[in-house]
Amino acid sequence: MIANFEAAKVFQKRFLVPLLADVLSAHLNVSFDHSLKFLILLSTIGLIYGFKELLNLFVSDEPFQYISIFVLIPVSWNYIVLNSIFHAYDIPAICFFCWGIVLFVKNKVLIFYVLFIVSTLNRESTCFITVSILLLKFNYSINITGNYLLEKFRNNKILFRHVFYQFLIWIGLVFSIKYFVKNNPGSFYEETFSMIHFIKCIIENEACWPYLDTSSFFFNPRCFLTLFLGIWVLIPTVWSHIPSTSKRLLLLVPVYLIPCVLYANLMESRVYHELNIIITLVSVLGLYNFIKTKKLA
């Protein structure tokens, strides 16, 4: 339905993968389902390699060929084990997120902007690529002499220029797509459920969407507490071993949750797209440096 622009409009705006699958099916004479699975497989491979490159931005002297597979643990848990709903744009979105940060930090600007545009056609959450870049590349040096704000602007002028370009591209694409699908069949908004009510159900052990059977662990709302398979507990445990630059990315968590509170069903484990990468990245870096320190001790 997404490829035919007949689904709910919130999904029609994320048409890249279904449309590509539809084109592949027509040209290769294979089923739409097989084309879709092939694109998701490519995205998964791209995610593993993208996460490896992301790790190497912070620990460049060590290979992460095998450690990068660790990203599949929280992703598989959130998208497959806990989640009862799957969308074709989920894995590509976090794959694009990894590569977007990597390409910009490595100054591969032209390829970055191509990826940024393509990624926005997949899902509008590319704005979090921009936020992550800002967190990583911003010059945080403190020098309170003269006009502090003017000095900060001068030190980060090139970065601010790119952030502005990305904002223009993002806002232009998002509103263009919204205009393109506005007269298509399908409702424009989906109902957002109350997270406060869901938390109450967790406390009182009552069935609540999307967990509708308290007699079974994976259908019990308390199972939601295993989000990311609990790897976030590593962050405070190995905090002192986490590279300071990567810690900046944790600021993306509250930034991400603000729009999610307003527009997403937070009890649905698949909505934490980019946070899968941030939490896994910081946890793996901290754990890796902790183990390395212990070996050298």
* Residue 85 pLDDT exceeds 80: no
- What percentage of the chain carries pLDDT values higher than 70? 88
* Residue 248 pLDDT exceeds 80: yes
- What percentage of the chain carries pLDDT values higher than 90? 60
* Residue 26 pLDDT exceeds 80: yes
Average pLDDT over residues 67-72: 92
Q: Are 85 and 210 in contact (CB under 8 A)?
A: yes
Confidence of residue 115 (pLDDT cuts 50, 70, 90): very high
* DSSP code string of 213-250: -TTSGGGSGGGGGGGGGGGGGHHHHTGGGS-HHHHGGG
Q: What is the mean pLDDT of the chain?
A: 88
State the pLDDT at residue 246. Answer: 95
Average pLDDT over residues 265-285: 94
Confidence of residue 84 (pLDDT cuts 50, 70, 90): low
At 193-204, the pLDDT tens digits run 889 999 999 999
* Residue 9 pLDDT exceeds 70: no
Average pLDDT over residues 158-175: 95
At 88-97, the pLDDT tens digits run 899 999 999 9
At 97-114, the pLDDT tens digits run 999 999 999 999 999 999
State the pLDDT at residue 253. Answer: 95
At 119-135, the pLDDT tens digits run 999 999 999 999 999 99
State the pLDDT at residue 15. Answer: 83
State the pLDDT at residue 3. Answer: 47
Domain boundaries, the chain: 9-296
